[in-house]
Amino acid sequence: MKENSQKILNGINGAPGICIGKAHLIDSHGVDVIQKYYLTDELVISELKRFKTAVSNAKRELEEVICNSPESIGDHINILETHLLLFNDKMLYEKTLSHIKQNRINAEWALKNVVEETKDLFRSIEDEYLKSRGSDIVHVADKIMIKLTGAVEVNISDISKRVILVARDLSPAQTSQIQLDKIMGFLTDKGGTASHTSIIAKTLGIPCVIGLENATSRIKDDDIIIIDGSSGIVIINPEDSVLIKYEEAKRVFEEKQAEIVRSSYLPATTKDGVDLVINGNIEFTEEVDLVKNHGGTGIGLYRTEFLYMSKNHYPDENEQFENYKEVGERIYPGEVIIRTLDINGDKALSYNKDDIEELNPALGLRAIRFCLKRKKIFKTQIRAILKASAFGNIKILFPMISSLGELNEAKKIVKICMTELSDEGINFNPDIKIGIMVEIPSTAVMADIFAKEVDFFSLGTNDLIQYSLAIDRGNEEVAHLYNELNPAILRLIQNTASAAKENNIPVAVCGEMAGNPMFIPVLLGLGILNFSMNPHSIPIVKQFIREINFKDIEKLTSEILLQNNCEASKKLIIYKLGELLNL
């Protein structure tokens, strides 16, 4: 094979779009070779000081990056601010200091050992988003290591030519330095769909493919490459015919994206007049405008755990109140569904002093279980939400409810907080709506009972699928079994939607299924008329809805429910709607 012949690499579609240009390799390996040496008792104190100085210098450097970050990533500047807190995270900072003192070893080796332990810890987490947060700690550790060893970090903002970046990995801080007039797109050997690097790429609106494993060893500087971020394909030194094909595809994609965004303000109404509600999922207050600008009518899921994760202490009542109040006022009259703290206490909150090590955190003390055990923390949040309800259309959502006992205990705490606020003369909405996440099989099976006790359902399809099919999505050996069209999953969704309809309460889907046009038809046919998704998915989903006929979708869903396997259902959807789905 000729050295410059065409090669095709397959990775993960990190951010959609197509770009064509010259490759620019950057060395983002960090420090690969670390020497180990032991210290005398006298040198331990100076080594501790050397480590603290390296942390301080690395932190100061990141603060400068934040100050100089372009306005285009404003919505996700919180990602970098979270990295600042990780510099003093007990999982990283305190453990490294402890390793140096207890083992009398040099700071580089101690930090290396702590990072390896952290990687192992995060690999055991089943939640895709929290699992990917392990890479944030690694990125922060790399910055400290560079300061310890005196290595020089690549500064992406110094790149002066228009190129496509090729790297082993990119930290969010590096990604935030991207100048859109210079960087057309990027690809990396490492990374996953939930990584912050991928999130920032989507915010910047540039295509990227991640998780390519060995791209840096197969691509050379100035190679012509094509990135297809929508399909996760990278083509090295494309043939002329392929180049022409992708140049046309790039033009069509960009024209279509511009058209979709321009029409995002139009209602989500099917051809035969069925109106749907399209909301956005957010993590930070800054994303409210992103939802509005992309055509969302409200906030269908506010993941409040990121308010906790972005601090080095539990946020107090006033901090939370101001946050929830701002979201409620900015999206009004649209609704804001605030999910109470959905976190695994011993993995995500470094400042939680009562943590215990769990063998299976995803099935352990998380979400409502954590809150009901830590009632003081829970009450602080509930009081803040209730106070904010006087300033917007705010609703409460309890996550990971598995029994009526849990639900009743949570509702009891809400009533206690209402009584306290009334006695204190503080305004709130006494008729605030309360709902539950349907994300555990037991809840979906008992949906008819739960529907009598709550004001609405939110279907969390990510966990519902994972728990129902007993699949760890992060385990490469079984990840292929994770399938949204599994007949068992469709029956659970149908059962939940039917129970909601019979009891006259709304039901929404707020998992990844909601933002994928492939699954919208079957969800519609099952009775779901309310969807909440990543803000960037809103325009595409709304346009797709305007192009379908609800009665046709009901017939299609009836046929899908007769299928007994996922592939048959997928083929049926593609056969009926492939042209609309561009498949």
The residues spanned by each domain of the chain are: 7-28+156-260, 41-149, 273-548
Task: Look at residue 213 and tell me whether its pLDDT is greater than 60.
Answer: yes
pLDDT at position 380 is 97
C-beta separation of 546 from 271 below 8 A: yes
Please confirm, yes or no, whether 19 is among the known catalytic residues: no
CA–CA distance from 349 to each of 130, 272, 341 (Å)?
A: 11, 48, 11
Domain topology for 273-548? TIM Barrel (3.20.20)
Banded pLDDT at 1 (limits 50, 70, 90): very low
Chain segment 532-559, per-residue pLDDT in tens: 998 888 999 999 999 999 999 999 999 9
Marked catalytic residue, from 24, 76, 139, 196: 196
- From 102-106, 114-118, 388-392, the region with the lowest mean pLDDT: 114-118
Please confirm, yes or no, whether 196 is among the known catalytic residues: yes
Q: What is the percentage of the chain residues whose pLDDT exceeds 90?
A: 51
Q: What is the CATH number of domain 7-28+156-260?
A: 3.50.30.10
Q: Which of 167-181, 401-415, 479-493 has the highest mean pLDDT?
A: 401-415
Marked catalytic residue, from 76, 99, 510, 536: 510
Question: Taking Cα atoms as reference points, which of 282, 349, 275, 343 lies closest to residue 311?
Answer: 349
Q: What is the CATH number of domain 41-149?
A: 1.10.274.10
Rounded CA Rg of the chain: 25
* Alpha-carbon gap, residue 25 to 397, rounded angstroms: 46
Question: Taking Cα atoms as reference points, which of 301, 286, 219 lies closest to residue 530?
Answer: 301
Banded pLDDT at 123 (limits 50, 70, 90): low
Task: Look at residue 31 and tell me whether its pLDDT is greater than 70.
Answer: no
C-beta separation of 88 from 312 below 8 A: yes
* Alpha-carbon gap, residue 311 to 113, rounded angstroms: 25
pLDDT at position 261 is 81
Confidence (pTM): 0.69
Task: Look at residue 347 and tell me whether its pLDDT is greater than 50.
Answer: no
pLDDT at position 317 is 97
Count Cβ atoms below 10 Å from residue 481 Cβ, excluding itself: 15
C-beta separation of 387 from 323 below 8 A: no
pLDDT at position 345 is 39
C-beta separation of 51 from 238 below 8 A: no
- From 166-175, 267-276, 496-505, the region with the lowest mean pLDDT: 166-175
* Alpha-carbon gap, residue 174 to 566, rounded angstroms: 40
Banded pLDDT at 346 (limits 50, 70, 90): very low
Buried-exposed string 9-47: b where 16+ CB fall within 10 A, e elsewhere: bebbbbbbbbbbbebbbbebebeeeeeeeebeeeebeeb
Task: Look at residue 70 and tell me whether its pLDDT is greater than 60.
Answer: no
Banded pLDDT at 398 (limits 50, 70, 90): very high
Q: State the first-to-last Cα distance of the chain, in angstroms, to the nearest integer.
A: 32
CA dihedral 350, 351, 356, 357 (to 10 degrees): 10
pLDDT at position 258 is 84
C-beta separation of 198 from 223 below 8 A: no
